[in-house]
């Protein structure tokens, strides 16, 4: 479902921007979530210590990942869990399909998992004739709307309650015109309860997998992962190789950071630790690479594998808030998604590292201290060098590089710029200037720093 | 084999060894202050739970009688609350048969003041689906079982063995529709916490 149109971030953002009041509403809602995060973060005097500790734990994980993966696997097997490995999305999807086929199951209930979005599991299973129902309310809504999630934590943050009311009226039989979140949630509850009670297979994601014990943890507010997993005869858990943490006690660090960063809650309603299958049922874990080991080898970008998918970088990003998650045409949108996606396909996602102001707000809120904006900046250079740069950006960046490398031109350019702004603003503010198109141009200073400085020097003499 | 391929690629690309940080400072901080019951109550209430400080089992029974009419299906995992169906006696029933449970009452031995979470393992739940499938959930915890933060909670859990365990911090909820908080998504519509003093 991602970017079937082949459009780039600026083009997709332009579509989102046509509805200005909606952009403002989207912007304000996410900023409100960001503020809730701040309130929670400020309540803990040890917040920065927690972030630093989390980041160091993840450093250790990335430096020992192969050992931890083997340790996790051995312990999980010991616990009676069946472990599978998938090199890429296709292999992951095939394993899921085969597990269902073996048991003659053609209907599955699924809890939130961005990894399965990344693998396009739902579409794949649909083609194989398997009915998949997403059970997280936000995911169910976008699934009924036939759209991908637009945010990793808040999948339908782009939708108005009236639109959701229409979708529920059409698919779940709620009253026409009903848009009360309470009533709509109750409608979904009734519908999904029936699903939980009739599905023999449940698939969930994995928030944390513990090498030391072979258990894995899933965090939800709705309890949908547990309802699915505990009522099904087979529980399939899909995890990326980077989800490993060394020991159980490290959960104490990550669970304190995750939801405070994500939604401003002190913890999710449910943090469920799965170690052994319930009597008479089976747990299968699929450990997925899908480009992660390559990213591990890219020194400048390996830190992106520390991500715990809290979404804080999206909520704070001025570009994300004003362009909407779908404009990133990849499963994980926003700042972190723009680092992860070019690793998978540099050409297809060459536009994403440019979808940032590099203001650094993302790096400031990241609970595991990923230097997000630096990595975006570094991707731009790699992409330009490799020749994948979006054309408009290449021309503009070349012009910039040329101007910056020539002090004479830079100085006169500044002077010229100010004159042009003053007397011919239309020359700058037109569709032909690619820089203007993506930026609010600054107000021109009366005199340049260079001019001011030389005057000052003259005055002193 | 993908397993070998993945592990080889990871081994090749992982960088020089970085040591694990010390957790001791975090473990020794008690950021939530001394009055854990008060802290617990205020955080859990903000998360939508009903918290009662009670002196004894009789007080719990009185509240339950007031809140739940006779005739509804109530399951208790606590021997002291013996007027209800004891969870230990229905272990053989299929998880699906609990779909009509109105209330489940369980005991927790570990609660966290900083976030209102209650730690329950499979042996306290009896049946894993019980605290999720019931329309309402009640948990009894002793005042002494509260710790300040998750750091102390995991220190206490240590390397305990369980098949399944969960921190539960409130009623099931969602805010997926325009960020309006709605209590009662798929799991219990309410969580009552009885703190035994
Ligand atoms: S990069 Fe950091 S802030 Fe963004 S989702 Fe991941 S952990 Fe959260």
pLDDT per residue as tens digits for the range B114-126: 999 999 999 999 9
Percentage of chain B with pLDDT > 70? Answer: 97
| Residue B190 in this model has a pLDDT that exceeds 90 | yes
Give A287-315 pLDDT, tens digit per residue.
999 999 999 999 999 999 999 999 999 99
A205 pLDDT more than 80: yes
Residue A154: is its pLDDT beyond 90? Answer: yes
Select from B47, B149, B186 the Cβ nearest to the Cβ of A256.
B149
The dihedrals phi and psi of B147, each to the nearest 5 degrees, come to -120, 160
Query: DSSP string spanning A252-315?
Result: HHHHHHHHHHHTS-SS-SEEEEE-SPPTT-EEEEEEE-TTHHHHHH-TTTGGGGG-----HHHH
CA dist A5 and A332 (Å) reads: 18
Give the per-residue pLDDT at A455.
73
pLDDT score at A35? 97
Reported ipTM exceeds the 0.85 cut:
yes
| CA–CA min distance B132, chain A (Å) | 6
| Residues B178, A161: C-beta atoms closer than 8 Å | yes
| pLDDT on residue A427 | 45
* Ligand 1 binding pocket mutation candidate from A151, A332, A367 (most atoms within 8 A of CB): A367
Q: What is the pLDDT of residues A4-49, one digit of tens each?
A: 578 999 999 999 999 999 999 999 999 999 999 999 999 999 999 9
Identify the pLDDT of residue A413.
Answer: 53
Whether B185 sits inside 8 A of A223 (CB atoms) is yes
Distance B89 CA to ligand 1 centre (A): 46
Which parts of A44-119 fold into alpha helices (H)?
47-63, 65-78, 89-102, 114-118
Ligand 1: distance of its center to the CA of B126 in Å?
Answer: 37
Say how many CB pairs under 8 Å bridge A and B: 250
% of chain A residues with pLDDT over 70: 84
> What mean pLDDT, rounded, does chain B reach?
94
A335 pLDDT higher than 60: yes
3-state secondary structure of B38: helix
pLDDT for A426 beyond 50: no
Query: Is A433's pLDDT higher than 70?
Result: no
The pLDDT value recorded for residue A4 is 57
**Which 3 state secondary structure label does DSSP give B178?**
coil
Q: Is the dihedral of CA B132, B134, B136, B140 positive or negative?
A: negative
Residue in A153, A335, A336 to alter for ligand 1 test, most ligand atoms within 8 A of Cβ: A336
Question: At a CB cut-off of 8 Å and minimum separation 6, what does B133 contact?
Answer: A227, A230, A231, B95, B98, B99, B101, B187
Residues B93-111 have pLDDT tens digits of 999 999 999 999 999 999 9
pLDDT attached to residue A389? 77
| Per-residue model confidence as pLDDT tens digits over A100-128 | 999 999 999 999 999 999 999 999 999 99
The pLDDT of residue A461 is 53
- Assess whether pLDDT exceeds 60 at residue A425: no
Out of A11-25, A149-163, A441-455, least confident range:
A441-455
User: Rounded to the nearest 5°, which phi and psi values hold at A165?
Assistant: -55, -45
| C-alpha span between A276 and A152 (Å, rounded) | 28
Whole-number average pLDDT of chain A: 90
The Å distance, Cα A337 to ligand 1 centre, comes to 9
| pLDDT at A435 > cutoff 50 | no
Centroid of ligand 1 to alpha carbon of A53 (angstroms): 15
In chain B, what is the greatest distance between 2 CA atoms, to the nearest angstrom? 65
Residue closest via CA to ligand 1's atom 3 equals A366
Q: Supply the DSSP symbol for A354.
A: G
Please write the tens of the pLDDT for every residue from A378-409: 999 999 999 887 765 655 555 555 555 555 55
pLDDT(A53) > 60: yes
Residue A416 has pLDDT above 80, yes or no: no
Whether the Cβ atoms of residue A278 and residue B163 lie closer than 8 Å to each other: yes
pLDDT digits (tens, 9 = 90+) for B52-93: 999 999 999 999 999 998 889 999 999 999 999 999 999 999
pLDDT in tens, A244-283: 999 999 999 999 999 999 999 999 999 999 999 999 999 9
pLDDT at position A353 is 96
pTM: 0.90
Hey, what's the torsion of the CAs at A134, A138, A139, A144, to 10 degrees?
90
Contact B85/A at CB under 8 A = no
Report whether B80 contacts B105 (CB < 8 A). no
């Amino acid at each position: 479902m991602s970017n079937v149109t082949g459009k780039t971030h600026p083009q997709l953002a332009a579509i989102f921007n046509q509805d200005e009041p909606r952009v403002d509403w989207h912007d304000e809602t996410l900023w409100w979530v960001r503020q809730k995060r701040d309130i929670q973060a400020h309540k803990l005097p040890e917040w920065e210590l927690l972030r630093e500790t989390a980041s160091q734990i993840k450093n250790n994980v990335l430096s020992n990942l192969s050992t931890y993966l083997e340790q996790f696997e051995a312990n999980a097997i010991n616990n009676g869990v069946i472990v599978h490995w998938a090199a890429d999305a296709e292999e992951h999807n095939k394993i899921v399909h085969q597990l269902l086929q073996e048991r003659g199951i053609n209907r599955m209930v699924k809890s939130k998992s961005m990894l399965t979005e990344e693998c396009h599991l739902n579409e794949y299973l649909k083609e194989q004739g398997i009915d998949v129902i997403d059970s997280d309310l936000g995911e169910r809504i976008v699934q009924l709307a036939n759209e991908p999630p637009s945010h990793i934590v808040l999948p339908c943050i782009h939708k108005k309650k009236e639109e959701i009311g229409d979708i529920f009226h059409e698919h779940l039989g709620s009253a026409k015109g009903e848009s009360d979140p309470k009533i709509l949630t109750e409608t979904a509850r009734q519908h999904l309860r029936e699903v939980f009670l009739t599905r023999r297979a449940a698939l969930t994601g994995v928030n944390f997998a513990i090498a030391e014990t072979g258990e894995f943890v899933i965090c939800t507010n709705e309890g949908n992962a547990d309802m699915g997993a505990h009522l099904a005869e087979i529980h399939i858990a899909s995890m990326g190789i980077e989800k490993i943490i060394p020991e159980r006690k490290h959960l104490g660090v990550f669970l304190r950071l995750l939801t405070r960063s994500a939604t401003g809650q002190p913890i999710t309603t449910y943090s469920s630790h799965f170690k052994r299958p319930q009597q008479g049922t089976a747990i299968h874990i699929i450990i997925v690479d899908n480009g992660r080991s390559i990213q591990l080898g890219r020194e400048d970008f390996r830190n992106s594998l520390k991500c715990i998918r809290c979404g804080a970088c999206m909520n704070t990003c001025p570009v994300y808030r004003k362009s909407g998650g779908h404009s990133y045409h990849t499963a994980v949108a926003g700042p972190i998604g723009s680092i992860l996606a070019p690793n998978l396909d540099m050409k297809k996602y060459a536009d994403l590292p440019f979808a940032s102001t590099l203001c650094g707000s993302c790096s400031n809120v990241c609970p595991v201290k990923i230097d997000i904006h630096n990595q975006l900046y570094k991707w731009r250079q790699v992409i330009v060098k490799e020749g994948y740069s979006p054309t408009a950006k290449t021309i503009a960046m070349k012009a910039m590089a040329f101007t910056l490398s020539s002090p004479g031109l830079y100085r006169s350019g500044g002077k010229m710029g100010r004159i042009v702004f003053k007397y011919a603003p239309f020359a700058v503010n037109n569709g032909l200037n690619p820089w203007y198109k993506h930026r609010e141009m600054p107000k021109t200073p009366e005199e340049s720093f260079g001019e001011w400085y030389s005057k000052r020097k003259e005055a002193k003499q | 084999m993908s397993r070998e391929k993945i592990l080889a690629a990871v081994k090749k690309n992982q960088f020089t060894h970085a040591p694990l940080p010390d957790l001791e400072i975090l473990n020794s901080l008690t950021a939530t202050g001394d009055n854990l019951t008060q802290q617990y109550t205020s955080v859990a209430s903000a998360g939508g739970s009903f918290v009662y400080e009670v002196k004894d089992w009789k007080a719990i029974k009185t509240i339950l009688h007031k809140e739940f009419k006779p005739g509804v299906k109530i399951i208790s995992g606590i021997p002291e609350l013996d007027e209800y169906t004891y969870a230990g006696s229905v272990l053989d029933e299929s998880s699906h048969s609990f779909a009509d449970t109105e209330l489940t009452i369980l005991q927790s031995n570990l609660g966290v003041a900083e976030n209102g979470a209650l730690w329950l393992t499979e042996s306290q739940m009896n049946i894993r689906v019980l605290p999720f499938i019931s329309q309402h959930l009640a948990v009894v915890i002793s005042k002494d079982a509260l710790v300040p933060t998750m750091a102390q909670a995991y220190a206490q859990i240590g390397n305990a063995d369980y098949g399944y365990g969960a921190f539960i911090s409130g009623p099931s909820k969602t805010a997926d529709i325009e960020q309006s908080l709605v209590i009662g998504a798929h799991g219990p519509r309410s969580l009552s916490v009885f703190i035994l003093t």
